[in-house]
Structure 1
Amino acid sequence: MPETMDAWVQNAYGPAAAIHRAERPTPVPSKGQVLLKVRAIALNAGDVRIMQGDPMLVRPVFGFARPRQPIRGMDVAGTVVALGPGADAVRVGDEVVVELPGGGGLAEYAVAPAARLVPRPSSVSPRDAACLPIAAGTARQALDAAGIAAGGRVLVIAASGGVGTFAVQLAASVGAEVHATCAARNAASIGRLGATTVLDRDQPLRELPAGSYDAVIDIAGTAPLRDLQRLIVDGGRVVLVSGQGGRVLGPVGRMLRAAVLSVGSRRRIRPLSAVAKPEMLRELLALVEAGTISPLIEAEYPFDEAGAALARVEAGHVVGKIVVHGV
């Protein structure tokens, strides 16, 4: 194993323009960890949040003055090349997918908790597999929280991003009637993913009939909460996947308002805190293998252009996913 590796690093919180390529020591797996040769990295909005240290509420977890993990990229497909003590359930040479805690993916090698690894089926490419952990995992957890089932009607707000494109497909795959909002230029793509009705993202939600949906999945995080609550039937649920807020507390204020509005109401608003679930990732890989869902990928970048890939995610309004290929 080489002593050093290429990686994209940041020395302080800030924009993608400050990310630079550097030589770093190759990490050594500790107890319960493995070392991966990275084959593909899918970037998420969460990578940009950590990169910027925004909101400041996350800094006690990720580092006060600078990120403790200076390498971004959490969703990775790779090959196991070394084992730490106690990583006995994995073998060198295994092809796996994983959500790395906090990052580390934009490098030649990355350490990963063995308990989070999921085998990658040979028929699923590293590119497609890397798109699943956070985006598809969050979409699936949001739909579960909303109680989506066959025959239900769901509205996915901001459906053209990574989470949204998977939410549309997953809801349609269980027999739900899917309505979605997105920019007009993306409407055809979202329709092909399974949305039967696609609304312009600029259409005010208050113009839609009250009680139109069994569930609303709010990914944009900007709509007035009362407008969202008004859209669902009694016993329905609004699930908040993200939310806008201040520089310090981020979406916490919106989450608290959602809790207040839900007290005594039959139209509940539930904030979602998605977590890594390896068994769910295994199921999602099986759905890709079966052709039931497929990542919508806006662009792929070589490792040499990983900084540009982060800048694209930072700019916002990515359609589907951005993928960086390994060295």
Structure 2
Amino acid sequence: MKAITKHKYGGPEILALEEVEKPTVKENHLLISVKANSANPADWHILRGKPFFARFTFGLFKPKNQILGADFAGIVDEVGQGVTRFKVGDRVFGEMLNGGAFAEYTCAPETVCGLMPDEADYNEMACVPIAGLTALQALIAHGKLKEGESVLINGSSGGVGHFAVQIAKAYGAHVTAVCSSRNIDFVKSLGADKTFAYDKEDIHLHKEKYDLIVDTNGNLNYDDYTRMGKRGVMVGFTTMGHMISVLLKKGFSKFPLTQITAVANSEDLNTLSKLIKEGKVKPHIEKIYPYSKIPEAIGYIESMRTRGKVAMSWDL
């Protein structure tokens, strides 16, 4: 089968399209015929081996998994012993942060897969897992967002942010979306009640108060959270130094601030699938690349200016 491989750490230029052995289905796993993937910041962080401490998980001197990729959507080709939730022919989506998804076939634990809505498109659903799970868990599991509360979403036009705006509205919140002025109309179309253009007004001087602050961009400092919010969730970070600074200050206070990394699970994936089926959430795809141009797609999202998501199709 064809796969996008990496044999060392580096930029998108080190990726290659190679013929590799098709995986064999394992116990409690699904063998999936991949129809689409999406690109995430996690992919290029893992590709480059940065931050360095991540190499203790992904391989200290060279990558443990030579096939890149986390997000996927496709068709169940075979089920392993012990699988109870899926059958051959099911259309599924999911993510494997350790890699292996950028290939014609991938073998994934059934616990990190969800069922696609009947009418859903593979490209759209491939864009959901990491970004959608991060947004859902930041808002609900960690942010404890309740109906009628106010939430400020910093970085509202990106992959995680555009899901967060829609999910917060679906749960009955009042949403203020922070983005660049060029993306104001976009985040309004997602349902944002109010918008804030960071290139027109300094977010670090913003004085309004919100029940919850969710930072997907990673540039808010500790004083921003305490000044603007009753509680906060930090998703992204601009530098390791910035993240450590925020968390150190949090460690010496009682302010409820959480730094999260999403954990894939079928229950949350099926919640996202339901929201999409009901029309409450819709993935926005800025670009679709053919699988042969996956390295180009990774390079594109590394610029950190993507509106919504970038998908890669195995049918193009």
TM-score, normalised to structure 1, is 0.91
SS across alignment from 2:20: strand
Match of 2:233 among 220, 239, 260: 239
Residue 278 of structure 2 corresponds to residue 290 of structure 1: yes
Measured in 2, the distance between the counterparts of 1:19 and 1:165 equals 29
Alignment map for 1:121-136 (pairs within 5 Å): 121-136=117-132
Residue 11 of structure 2 corresponds to residue 32 of structure 1: no
Paired position in structure 2 for 1:100: 96
Measured in 2, the distance between the counterparts of 1:293 and 1:24 equals 36
Paired position in structure 2 for 1:326: 314
SS across alignment from 1:81: strand
Paired position in structure 1 for 2:227: 230
Runs of 4+ in 1 over 4 A off after TM superposition: none
Match of 1:54 among 50, 56, 64: 50
Paired position in structure 2 for 1:260: 251
Measured in 2, the distance between the counterparts of 1:258 and 1:68 equals 35
Does 200-209 or 153-162 show the bigger shift?
A: 200-209
Return the offset for 1:252: 5.5
SS across alignment from 1:221: coil
SS across alignment from 1:25: coil
Does 251-260 or 39-48 show the bigger shift?
A: 251-260
Instruction: Count residues in correspondence.
Output: 313
SS across alignment from 2:38: strand
RMSD of the TM alignment (CA)? 1.7
Q: Percent identity?
A: 32
Measured in 2, the distance between the counterparts of 1:76 and 1:182 equals 27
Paired position in structure 2 for 1:153: 150
Distance change >3 Å, CA 148–CA 90, structure 1 → 2 = closer
The one-letter code of the counterpart of 2:278 is A
Measured in 2, the distance between the counterparts of 1:256 and 1:70 equals 33
**Residue deviations 1:6-64, cap 9 Å, x none?**
11111111111211111111111222222111011111111111111110111111111
Does 220-229 or 288-297 show the bigger shift?
A: 220-229
Measured in 1, the distance between the counterparts of 2:170 and 2:244 equals 34
Paired position in structure 2 for 1:113: 109
Distance change >3 Å, CA 151–CA 84, structure 1 → 2 = closer
The one-letter code of the counterpart of 2:2 is D
Match of 1:19 among 6, 10, 15: 15
Return the offset for 1:251: 6.4
8 A Cα contact 2:32 2:75, kept in partner: yes
Return the offset for 1:258: 4.5
SS across alignment from 1:21: strand
The one-letter code of the counterpart of 2:187 is I
**Residue deviations 1:189-228, cap 9 Å, x none?**
0011011221112332233225x11111011112221122
Return the offset for 1:89: 4.2
Return the offset for 1:88: 4.9
Match of 2:296 among 278, 293, 308: 308
Residue 161 of structure 2 corresponds to residue 170 of structure 1: no
Measured in 1, the distance between the counterparts of 2:111 and 2:167 equals 25
8 A Cα contact 1:258 1:269, kept in partner: no
Measured in 2, the distance between the counterparts of 1:184 and 1:208 equals 16
Residue 41 of structure 2 corresponds to residue 45 of structure 1: yes
TM-score, normalised to structure 2, is 0.94
SS across alignment from 2:231: strand
Does 164-173 or 97-106 show the bigger shift?
A: 97-106
Return the offset for 1:172: 1.3
Measured in 2, the distance between the counterparts of 1:252 and 1:178 equals 25
Paired position in structure 1 for 2:205: 207
Structure 2 unaligned blocks of 5 or more: none
Measured in 1, the distance between the counterparts of 2:87 and 2:224 equals 51
SS across alignment from 1:288: helix
Return the offset for 1:117: 2.3
